[in-house]
Structure 1
Amino acid sequence: MSLALDAAAQDLLFREAQTANSFTDEPVTDEQVQAIYDLVKYAPTAFNQSPLRLTLVRSADARERLVKHAMGANGPKTLSAPLTLVLSTDLDFHEKLPTLFPHAPGIKDAYFSELSVREVAGAQNATLQAGYLILGIRAAGLAAGPMTGFDFAGIDKEFFGDGKQKSFMVINVGKPGADAFFPRSPRLSFDEAVTTV
């Protein structure tokens, strides 16, 4: 059965897209980032939560502050990217729920009054939003280099001293550079991953 998305778009978003490990020096503009965000913000989350926050790391000083928390090869990769995004969860995301979910005005207090509940819900939904963000980056004709090999507690102290945001992923963004892609690793087949009950 064919998909509604044409083959070229399927290739752009999935089959030919890979994690980039090097980038050209072509800049990624604020307008591109806004276009990406304005596309992916419509993707579904529980209760229309939007806990994901993006910190755009552009300056040399901010990049050095970030890279000191990188593990292994993630530091050099980050230094080579024209734009790096720090993805974090806003632990006070529930304060915006009455606006985002207006047909259930009591949802904020009924579900999210406890910080521990917000941390779990925020982490789940911000991670979901991160997946949409990677697809949005690809849809913009750019390459994404998502990484979790960082000291996120260190990043939080460095960039989010008030404790209201918790970082969980770093994504380098740009046009792929020379030898940007490793050979594609295998994936599970349909029969290995899918069960019918």
Structure 2
Amino acid sequence: MSDAKRLPAEVMEQLFTAARTHNGWLDREVPDALLELALDYAKWGPTSANCSPMRIVFVRSQEAKQRLAPAMSAGNLAKTMAAPATAIIGYDLDFPDLLPQLYPATDARSWFAGNDALIEETAFRNGTLQAGYFLLALRAVGLDAGPMSGFDKATVDAEFFKNTRIRSNFLINIGYGDVAQLYPRGPRLAFEDMAKIL
């Protein structure tokens, strides 16, 4: 990549090196417009055959939080109830139905006909990939995030995805993080411990 296309160091810090996984939240509302903007950026990330299986429910109201609460593990309950918003990241097993619209170059829907294992694998992989884009998009629009597992998926699916073929993957608490509640930052692996160039 040429230096002309490289993002400034402060942008990379906001997206990666200075960004943190937050557990505590300031009492500051997250505007709907920022959630919409983040998703509007994230949707442009690549997926196989543009399948775009990620689906999100944003849990914001107290009523919705109370519906989510029974599914949360003890360690994740308080911070989730305190977060201004929680995104339930799901993946849609009916994504092939939209392939004629999303990938009109060929009959991609036929690739998945009768192949439930391929549908599950493709939806999970690409939905997770999209969630990664969404996490970076949240940071890019100035929000903080706390992605996590630690919840009962069956309970969430029954409560928020009833009568659909959407399955929950993980949650992201969203807001403006309280830096006073951050843990010391954990180390990361060195390049040579993660990769090799052949």
TM-score by length of 2: 0.94
Q: Which residue of 1 aligns with 2:66?
A: 64
- Counterpart of 1:88 in 2: which secondary structure? strand
Unaligned runs of 5+ in 2: none
Residue 188 (structure 2) pairs with residue 187 (structure 1): yes
Structure 1 position 163, deviation (Å):
4.4
Please tell me the residue identity of whatever aligns with 1:14: F
Matches of 1:54 and 1:159, distance apart in 2? 10
| Identity over aligned pairs, percent | 38
Matches of 2:56 and 2:93, distance apart in 1? 14
CA 188–73 in structure 1, closer or farther in 2 if over 3 Å, else same: same
Matches of 1:179 and 1:95, distance apart in 2? 46
Matches of 1:180 and 1:52, distance apart in 2? 30
Alignment of 1:1-197 (within 5 A): 4-104=6-106, 106-197=107-198
Matches of 1:22 and 1:49, distance apart in 2? 34
TM-score by length of 1: 0.94
Please tell me the residue identity of whatever aligns with 2:135: I
Which stretch of the first structure deviates more once superposed, 108-117 or 74-83? 108-117
Q: What's the CA shift string for 1:127-175, capped at 9, x where partnerless? A: 0011111100000111001011111111111111214110011111011
The alignment of Structure 1 onto Structure 2 pairs a total of residues equal to: 196
Structure 1 position 181, deviation (Å):
1.9
Root-mean-square deviation (Å): 1.5
Please tell me the residue identity of whatever aligns with 2:118: V
Matches of 1:60 and 1:123, distance apart in 2? 29
Structure 1 position 112, deviation (Å):
4.5
Matches of 1:147 and 1:69, distance apart in 2? 13
Contact 2:25 2:175 in 1 (8 A): yes
Q: What's the CA shift string for 1:49-101, capped at 9, x where partnerless? A: 11000101111121011121111221000011111110101110111111111
Contact 2:96 2:112 in 1 (8 A): no
Structure 1 runs (4+) deviating above 6 angstroms are none
Matches of 2:124 and 2:132, distance apart in 1? 13
Matches of 1:95 and 1:177, distance apart in 2? 42
Structure 1 position 178, deviation (Å):
4.9
